[in-house]
Amino acid sequence: MTRRRSKAYSFGVNTPFKVIDGTPEPEGPLKRMKASVPDTPIVRCPRCTGLAMLEVKLGMTWRNGKPAGGQKQIVCATCLARGEHVVIA
Ligand SMILES: [Zn+2]
């Protein structure tokens, strides 16, 4: 018993597969963005390991009736509630 291969093809089994373009690996701006941000550590208080931060300004001046300028500082909110001024950045 021998099967002829060509017969199967003649019955319309040989539906040609069409090669379509798949989704390529992100190579554009998305991949570049991922590469530029390799690691983003969480800002924590070194004293109480708290996560709540407050942004305060030191040395502001009155300009046209509005407070302006000053040096920005990030302090721990938890430590501040305890009466301590822990500067994070
Ligand atoms: Zn703290």
Distant-in-sequence, close-in-space partners of 70: CB < 8 Å, separation ≥ 6 = 57, 58, 59, 60, 61
**What is the full per-residue pLDDT of the chain (89 aa) written as tens digits?**
555 555 545 555 666 778 777 766 666 665 555 556 678 999 999 999 999 999 999 999 999 999 999 999 999 999 999 999 999 99
CB 59 within 8 A of CB 70: yes
d(CA 47, ligand 1 centre) in Å: 5
Question: Residue 38 has what pLDDT?
Answer: 73
Q: How far, in Å, CA of 68 to CA of 17, rounded?
A: 69
Residue 25 in any domain: the answer is no
Considering the entire predicted model, what is its pTM? 0.52
What is the number of structural domains in the chain? 1
Residue 76 in any domain: the answer is yes
Range of the domain at 47: 43-89
d(CA 66, ligand 1 centre) in Å: 30
d(CA 44, ligand 1 centre) in Å: 8
Question: Residue 17 has what pLDDT?
Answer: 79
Question: Residue 5 has what pLDDT?
Answer: 59
DSSP H or E segment with residue 36:
helix 29-36
d(CA 63, ligand 1 centre) in Å: 33
d(CA 13, ligand 1 centre) in Å: 72
